[in-house]
Structure 1
Amino acid sequence: MYYHQLLAGQGRATALREAMRVLRLTQPHPHYWAPFLAMGRETPLRLRASSTGEEPHR
């Protein structure tokens, strides 16, 4: 879920928050979802350009 959100253009903290929210539906105990932290900028990830010289997708 986290990586799907990142690839959809969400920032790191937003993607983590959504993944934790979904996980809490099936695993309500904090042991399963609380230890994760978002670090870095909240900006969406930028994909690298491919070896064919194409512009990276945002």
Structure 2
Amino acid sequence: MPDFKTMYFQLAARVADALDILLKAQRDGEGEFMDEEPSPGLKVIAIKDESSDSE
């Protein structure tokens, strides 16, 4: 009979490794974006929260 407990922990470890890789890629990408010079055509637009208007 397969050792499901061991299989589960191996799977959980691999999932945790995958999440670490994805989070590092996200941090690296965000860091590169923040280090770049701003593009001349970009501007920040505030988005109005419509849910607060109905109160």
Compute the TM-score of the two structures, normalised by the length of structure 2: 0.30
User: Which is greater in Rg?
Assistant: 2
Higher helix proportion? 2
